[in-house]
Amino acid sequence: MPTVIITGASSGIGRALALLMAEEGYDLGLIARRRELLESAQSEISRYHPKIKVKIYPCNVADTDECRKAIFKLAHELQHLDVFVANAGVGGSTPGGDPCWEESQKIIETNVRGAIASLEAAKEIMLKQKSGHLVGISSIAAARGLPQSSAYCMSRAAIAVYLESLRVDLKNRGIFVTSIHPGFVDTPMTKKMSSRPFLVSAEKGAEEIFWAIRRKKARHYFPFMMRVVYPLLKHMPDCVYDWIFSIRREQKIF
Ligand SMILES: NC(=O)c1ccc[n+]([C@@H]2O[C@H](COP(=O)([O-])OP(=O)(O)OC[C@H]3O[C@@H](n4cnc5c(N)ncnc54)[C@H](OP(=O)(O)O)[C@@H]3O)[C@@H](O)[C@H]2O)c1
């Protein structure tokens, strides 16, 4: 049986991906802080797929020592690690006009420190195995510094750049690296947002991610419109970008 460890598997995209990969025959190692939600995912998967091994390890990825321990323990229990998905993440608003170090710190701890610590642990295991596939969930928000989202956009850009560097370094070591860039996915993280253009369900998001894993894509943007939106945002001249967001502020659109 192929194996996967997914962080942030207690809700949203991570949970949907765990269910989908179980259906596809993967043994699973699931990580998140909320034990009861991990147990509920574990029992749902075991009910529908009794032959699939589902191991859980409740932990905070921002506690980097604990996070490494979790990944080594799960990989040992699964006996091999084919795919690792660094998905755990938090959102949060950090308006530039207000003090927001506390909120920024929370985002950096989980989305950057936690994600990199987890990817490094998985990488160590895969280097020993001489095989594996590292996957990180970045975002369309990695393209640009969106208003009120300095820390979040930075955190998603950091992961994308980090993964790109790893991809080049690991090219001849038998380890694939994929960076995933979702647009808006209907999960608890985005539930309260006033506007979610081109929204997709968590299940559709999981299908897109699994498609990219199967094809060993270097990066994948979804839904389809994001393949247009991402380069447009990324390469838009600063003056146009600033103008669009000043209209948005004045007229409260988007
Ligand atoms: N939803 C979107 O539109 C969207 C778009 C682009 C990118 N993303 C990215 O996709 C990933 C998943 O987000 P989601 O939308 O599925 O949100 P979600 O439903 O809120 O899920 C986030 C997951 O991360 C876990 N998590 C958060 N902080 C953690 C920590 N410190 N340690 C361990 N686990 C932690 C949560 O579990 P516990 O609370 O139980 O720990 C939960 O399982 C995030 O990295 C996010 O940035 C989402």
Q: Would you say residue 44 has pLDDT above 60?
A: yes
CA–chain centroid gap for 172, Å, is 24
Question: How does pLDDT run across 106-137, given as a tens digit for each residue?
Answer: 999 999 999 999 999 999 999 999 999 999 99
Three-class secondary structure of residue 75 per DSSP: helix
- Is 221 among the residues known to form the active site? no
**Residue 233 clears pLDDT 90, i.e. is over it:** yes
From the CB of 185, is ligand 1 less than 6 Å away?
yes
Of all atoms in ligand 1, which is nearest to the CA of residue 115? 45
Q: Which atom of ligand 1 is nearest to the CA of 14?
A: 16
- Tens digit of pLDDT for each residue in 53-109? 999 999 999 999 999 999 999 999 999 999 999 999 999 999 999 999 999 999 999
Distance 229 CA to ligand 1 centre (A): 22
Q: Which position has the token pair 């945002």? A: 233
Q: Is 90 helix (H, G, I), strand (E, B) or coil?
A: coil
8 Å CB contact between 94 and 40:
no
What does the pLDDT look like over 143-197, one tens digit per residue?
999 999 999 999 999 999 999 999 999 999 999 999 999 999 999 999 989 889 9
Calpha distance 9→30 (Å, rounded) = 6
E strands, 88-147, in order: 132-137
Is the Cα dihedral 196, 141, 144, 181 positive or negative?
negative
Question: In this structure, which long-range contacts are made by residues 155-162, counting pairs with CB atoms below 8 Å and at least 24 apart in sequence?
Answer: 155/89, 155/107, 155/108, 155/111, 155/112, 155/115, 156/111, 158/111, 158/112, 159/86, 159/111, 159/112, 159/115, 159/116, 160/136, 160/219, 162/116, 162/119, 162/136
Q: Say which CATH topology domain 3-251 has.
A: Rossmann fold (3.40.50)
135 CB near ligand 1 (under 6 Å): no
Q: Is the pLDDT of residue 253 over 50?
A: no
Q: Which of 64, 61, 65 is nearest to 89 (CA)?
A: 61
Average pLDDT, the chain: 96
3-state secondary structure of 237: coil
Helix (H, G, I), strand (E, B) or coil at 189: coil
Q: Which of 26, 48, 57, 152 is catalytic?
A: 152
- CB-ligand 1 contact for 205 (6 Å cutoff): no
Nearest-angstrom CA–CA distance, 137 and 190? 15
Q: Is the CB of 18 under 6 A from ligand 1?
A: no
Task: Assess contact for 140 and 230: CB atoms under 8 A.
Answer: yes
Nearest to 135 by CA among 211, 189, 52: 211
